[in-house]
Amino acid sequence: MRNFASMLKLFFVFVSATLLFVSSFGQSDTILLSAKVKELKALSYSNPLEALQHAEPLLAECSQAGYSKGLAEVYNTQGIILYTRGLNDLALQSFINALENFRLLNDTIGMSLVYNNLGVVSYSVKKYYYSIFFFQQSLAIQSRINNIRNVIDLNNNIGSIYEKLKMYNKALSIHRNANAMSIKYGHLVGLSTGLNNIGVIYENSGHPDSAIWYYRKALEVSDSVPISQLALTYSNLGRTLMNNSRIDEARICLDSALLMATNSEATSYLSEIYNLFSQYYDKKGDINKAYKYLLKYKDVNKLIEDQTTEGDFADFILSMQQNKWSKEKKLLDNQVSLQQKVQWLLVIVIVVVIAGFFLVYLNIRNRNRLLDQRHKLSESESLRLADELKNKEIIAQLEKEKLTSELQMKERQLTSMTMHIVTKNETLQEIEKHVEQIASGNPEKSAEMPLNKIKSIIRMNAGDEAVWNNYFYHFEQVYPGFFRQLTNLHPELTQGEQKLCAYITINLNNKEIAHVMGISEASIKIKKNRLSKKLQLDIASDLTSYLRKFTDGE
């Protein structure tokens, strides 16, 4: 047991060490990728093209390692580089990919950052309502985390969009709220931006004096404000003054704008400033200087265009697009192949289904044929059975009629035999009566005559046992089991009472029974009454109907 416990402990130690090693390996891999992402961000400021070239392989590494945060940040950096180069469509796709990865991480701050970038891109391509939507999404997140500076900056961005849409009142309301927050929380950059934007609103809405006042107020807040932003405000103020014939004041503002834009390398602002200088000298009548600044204006514009279309950068974008097209083509080929497989599978399924239906049809048809055959066979069998039953009924009827006829014949024979016995006994009784008359009329001669012997012969024939046995045999032929059933139910009956029952059964009257049995009719009545009592019948009951039950086998 101790050895087992020790082995178990060693096993757990080994598993824990393995998990720790795997965890530390994954963690070190993530740390390495995180460092590469930071290097990419730094490189994007100094050498955007090189940073863009490193972005694709770094995306592949992050994807392989499952490092979603790295994917999100690289996509966001890639989008910023593409946007600054004027490739808004590609930038938009990169920002969307970044947003999806930040959503997977539930990183609201990262999502807010990307929403802001999407708003900037939408603003650049003049999709102002989309821009408002993205800025508002970012604003909602920044408001939840109470990042006041970002809330102010986003409000200023949204106000600028409403100014572009010429919804000046709404834009003014947003900027004034942003300025109030900037003053409350000491956000000077936000305050300067808000004042400058209000100046733009008044300038574009035909209120130059108010615009000049707000531009000057924006310039008063110069502490901590980037000089590139101050260059923009001086440029706006110079343009407004020059449009209102305050040319000398405009020149001072334009000089400040040119100095600050040059020092901050704000090339996009230089284009507008050179254009304003060209207009200024044109108003002064100095055509040479006006032409000189017009050429500078064109050179700066060309430089900006060259930055977005320079050879290496364009080649890289083309290769990136080709890779994208190659992936899309491969995906499309896979989809076509899959679609063909699905089509073949569908064809096979349809063929199998049709074959299945055909087999089911054949099965149903064969089964219906078999059922029809069985039905016909059943009908013929039913007809045969019906005919057979009918024939049996006819045969049974004939047999019944035959039995009835035989029974009737036997009953007639029995009746005839009975009547013969009755007649014989009546004759014998009549002879006995005459013999007695002779004996009583000639008593002297009767002793000489064998009259007593004659009487003895008569009595012997009247009660002959052989005659009764013959009668019993014929009675059993007509009514089989009569005496057996009668004696089983009434074992106390004597042989004479059984004979009486037989005579009553064949409907002999008292007189006929008396002749058969060789006794008087009165004696028969007495015997019937005694028999009724033994059979537990009322005196008035019909003995015949009761005894007839034994002829039916009941």
Alpha-carbon torsion, ordered 458, 464, 468, 471, to 10 deg:
-60
The 10 Å Cβ neighbour count of residue 259 is: 15
- Residue count (the chain): 554
Distance between CA atoms of residues 455 and 435, nearest Å: 8
pTM as predicted: 0.49
Contact call for residues 534 and 523 (beta carbons, < 8 A): no
* Distances 398 to 390, 391, 411, 480 between C-alpha atoms, Å: 12, 10, 19, 21
Domains and CATH numbers, the chain: 226-301 (1.25.40.10), 432-552 (no CATH)
Give tens-digit pLDDT for 265-293: 777 678 889 899 999 998 888 899 888 98
Determine which of 44-48, 360-364, 444-448 has the lowest per-residue pLDDT on average: 444-448
Classified as helix, coil or strand, 21 is helix
Strands (E), 84-211: none
The 10 Å Cβ neighbour count of residue 166 is: 10
Q: Which residues neighbour 264 within 8 Å (Cβ) at sequence distance 6 or greater? A: 226, 227, 228, 231
* Distances 247 to 27, 242, 250, 283 between C-alpha atoms, Å: 64, 5, 5, 8
Please check the confidence at residue 207 and state whether its pLDDT lies above 60. yes
Mean confidence (pLDDT) of the chain:
79
Q: Which amino acid is at 140?
A: A
Work out the pLDDT band at 177, boundaries 50, 70, 90.
very high
Task: State residue 459's pLDDT score.
Answer: 60
Q: Which amino acid is at 382?
A: S
Reading the block at residue 433, the tokens are: 């009566």
Q: Which residues neighbour 539 within 8 Å (Cβ) at sequence distance 6 or greater? A: 529, 532
Give tens-digit pLDDT for 9-40: 444 444 444 444 434 444 567 888 888 888 88
Residue, of 141 and 25, whose pLDDT is higher: 141
Q: Which of 18-27, 302-311, 460-469, 519-528 has the highest mean pLDDT?
A: 519-528
First to last CA, the chain: 92
Task: State residue 200's pLDDT score.
Answer: 93
Helix 267-284 vs helix 287-309: angle between axes, to the nearest 10 degrees? 160
Determine which of 26-40, 145-159, 474-488 has the lowest per-residue pLDDT on average: 26-40
Please check the confidence at residue 74 and state whether its pLDDT lies above 50. yes
Reading the block at residue 492, the tokens are: 């106390």
Task: State residue 216's pLDDT score.
Answer: 92
